[in-house]
Structure 1
Amino acid sequence: MNILVVCSDFPYPADHGGRVDTWGRIRALAGLGWGIDLLVCGKHVPAASDLRAARAWVNDIKLCDRKSSPLDILMPEPLQVRSRDALRTVPIDGDYDYVLLEGDYVYPVLDNPGIRAEQAILRVHNDESAYFKSLARSTGQILHKLYYAMESLKFAGLQRKLQKRVTKYLFISSKEYDSFVTRHPQAESLFLPPPLTRESFARSRFDTKHVVFIGSLFMPNNREAIRWYLDQVHPKLLDIPGYRFVIAGNSRGMGVEWLNSQRLEGVYVHDTPANLDEIYAKGYLFVNPMRNGAGVKLKTIEAIQNGLPVVSTTVGSEGTGLRNGLHIRVEDEPAAFCRAVRELLAEPAAADSLLQASQQFIRERYNHKETLKTYFRYLERTYSPERGISDVKSAHQHSVRDARG
């Protein structure tokens, strides 16, 4: 079996959420014996070392330029899609069984004469219309707010076009999957949890009082989350001996000057660290205080794999299947969020119990490779027509229903 994976960003190194998901899927498909070609229309040319590393898992890599002009902002398609217009004409001459579109951004590839509509499978990383609407709410800059709002409206239109052309969907978020299935029950859609990034999970020693946030520091919704925590929660925890708030993530060269106006007593900031292992290892628990967003917040899943129990807002946990009080703590009000952090910092046994439950849930339910294997077997009609996709769903999604009680 051969598959063409089409990306809007080179997936290696897997150093942020979207790349983690895409790169993990490439490795899972390779592990199933698939032949994989990679087509990328991104902003940056990957380093030679990254290309070499990727070629250990894929057969061929095609790169095309992402281009945009000021006039694109006036076009009906989202700017993120317009800038990847080269996908319509890039030569595609492989004999592929399927073409996996990694997100809405690569929509133009559907107009490429080398692709048949029945080959296309869309990996839904986010409800992009909802995501850009959330970014509009998160930013305080008027021009950015206007841009995000316009992109949200354009993505809503693009999603209607996609639904006329694509019938196969793999959703990263159980919440967005459920919403889609209610509206489009005939689509060959499936909830496919993000791939795990560790073969064995870490366990916190709980010998510090470091509360950790790791996420892309250039994203306005992550910045909003950090500001909320610094303003509403952090000052109320400074009386705890040894308490520190550790912020880490890639700023894409934008720096962290936006933090200057915040209360930074007891705060450690790591701008674009080369390695996150030590930060996780010295952490006690992870916080995901996001107020706006869409899709699954992979930072929550990554923290659990790396040995940290999680306190999150509803937005930071949605779509994961993780259950409040059983796997993680979920609080949206500042006082309750602060209380959850304080209680876990004071009770290592309770924190460890939460971590073990969340890690067990992920081990059992986030089997990316097996879910892909079953889905493609269905598409090849190895399942009887009477059972079909419902058999795949029941085998791999009962955990999501259980998590909702």
Structure 2
Amino acid sequence: MTDKKIHIVSFDVPFPANYGGAIDVYFRVKALKEIGYEITLHCFEYGRGRPSELSDLASTVVYYKRRKNPFAWLSRNPFIVQTRSPKKLLANLLKDDAPILFEGLHTTYFLGHPSLKERTKIVRTHNVEHDYYFMLSEQASGWKKRYYSSESKKLKRYESNLQFADLLLPIKQADFDHFSQYSTKIHLLPPCFDQKELVRTSTEPYLLFHGNLSVNENIEAVKWICKEIFDTLEAPLIIAGKDPDSSIIELSEKGFFELRANLNESEMSELISHARIHLLYTNQSTGIKLKLIHSLQTAGHVLVNPTMVEGTILDRYCTVCHQHFDWKHEIEKALDHELDEARFAMRTDLFSTKLNVVENCRKVTKIIEKLEN
């Protein structure tokens, strides 16, 4: 029995680890288990079930229904926080004196509660939430626009509650700079993910864009790629992901690309690992895109726009394209050539040092242990 214990409060059920936030939480739990922590995992449940796999990592898994009562919108607190505030959670956190890791601003309703004043409290910030919701409001219309706009304002006001944390764990340097206004106890923790040994495999001459194709950010990215790059460029492009929007299906029918929809995990992994060129475009700079990490774990060229790598150290491991003609030039140049050995060696070093998941989590546990003593 270990004497190292921790509570982790997750904003969602983190398995299956099939989207950015869930991936980050799941592989952090896995790393802490490997380091030797006994974990009590608290999950807010709203549609992802109660997977038995989590019991393999946590000694105790507790589920709470997320109460999406419309009246929560009238609260001064952000909706994403107010709907994750069951008294049962506080009662369970008080059953021992182990440190508490709150995953995301969403889960911090009890962060400043007097009952937890003497506890070591850590907050993992996945992004600057009010910026993210503001971007969503800019892309939405009708009641969704009003909701996102209201939530952005509430989140910006609520964010000052982070002063009650003993340690903040931002995901990238730009977020570190932002959250430093609330605490001097702050440590940069890069994303956690499925860390596989980098193996150089031969690639095939096709371009790949992958992601959740029902999400507006990715829908807009696909539209931009077709309009700005493939208006004149002819190259074998594959767009892959789940639940493609009707506008993406329409573009595929016009012949812009080959659509691979709703692939299973092994099919998607195969497609990613053998792509000669990965195209990554976004108009949102919040957080770190896990698909960027996945692309860098391959032997393919990774082409990105500046926003994709903004506030990170990852620009030096990619080809950053500023204008549409840069994209076309770099695609034509890379399509006939494998990634050179020096660039691949840089990636290998990146994942063994700066993006080593277990070692990065171990550094955090050492800080927590100092706070506890």
| Structure 2: gaps of 5 or more residues | none
Question: 1:292-336: per-residue Cα shift (whole Å, max 9, x none)?
Answer: 230111110111114433111122112431234xx1111232222
| Structure 1: gaps of 5 or more residues | 385-405
What is residue 203 of structure 1 aligned with on the other side? Answer: 200
Match of 2:101, SS? strand
**Where do residues 234-253 of structure 1 align in structure 2 (5 Å cutoff)?**
234-238=230-234, 243-251=235-243
CA contact (8 A) 1:10 1:46 kept: yes
What is residue 346 of structure 1 aligned with on the other side? Answer: 336
Question: 1:189-247: per-residue Cα shift (whole Å, max 9, x none)?
Answer: 101111241331243412x2221122222322222222211211123321xxxx32222
Match of 1:370, SS? helix
* Letter aligned with residue 13 of structure 1: P
Question: 1:92-129: per-residue Cα shift (whole Å, max 9, x none)?
Answer: 15424211111011122436676446421000111101
What is residue 161 of structure 1 aligned with on the other side? Answer: 161
CA contact (8 A) 1:221 1:293 kept: no
2:354 is aligned with 1:365? yes
What is residue 39 of structure 2 aligned with on the other side? Answer: 36
Separation in 2 of the partners of 1:70 and 1:379? 37
**Where do residues 180-259 of structure 1 align in structure 2 (5 Å cutoff)?**
180-181=179-180, 183-184=181-182, 186-206=183-203, 208-238=204-234, 243-251=235-243, 255-259=244-248
In the superposition, relative to structure 1, how do residues 274 and 114 fare at CA in structure 2: closer, same or farther (>3 Å)?
Answer: farther
* Letter aligned with residue 71 of structure 1: F
CA contact (8 A) 1:284 1:345 kept: yes
Separation in 2 of the partners of 1:319 and 1:115? 33
Aligned length: 366
What is residue 281 of structure 2 aligned with on the other side? Answer: 289
* Letter aligned with residue 232 of structure 1: E
Separation in 2 of the partners of 1:349 and 1:286? 12
Q: Which piece of structure 1 moves more, 296-305 or 334-343?
A: 334-343
Question: 1:19-43: per-residue Cα shift (whole Å, max 9, x none)?
Answer: 1111111111111110001101131
Separation in 1 of the partners of 2:360 and 2:287? 19
What is residue 300 of structure 1 aligned with on the other side? Answer: 292
CA contact (8 A) 2:98 2:119 kept: no
Q: TM-score, normalized by length of structure 1?
A: 0.82
Separation in 2 of the partners of 1:8 and 1:381? 26
Select which of 270, 273, 278 maps to 1:278.
270
RMSD in angstroms over aligned alpha carbons? 2.6
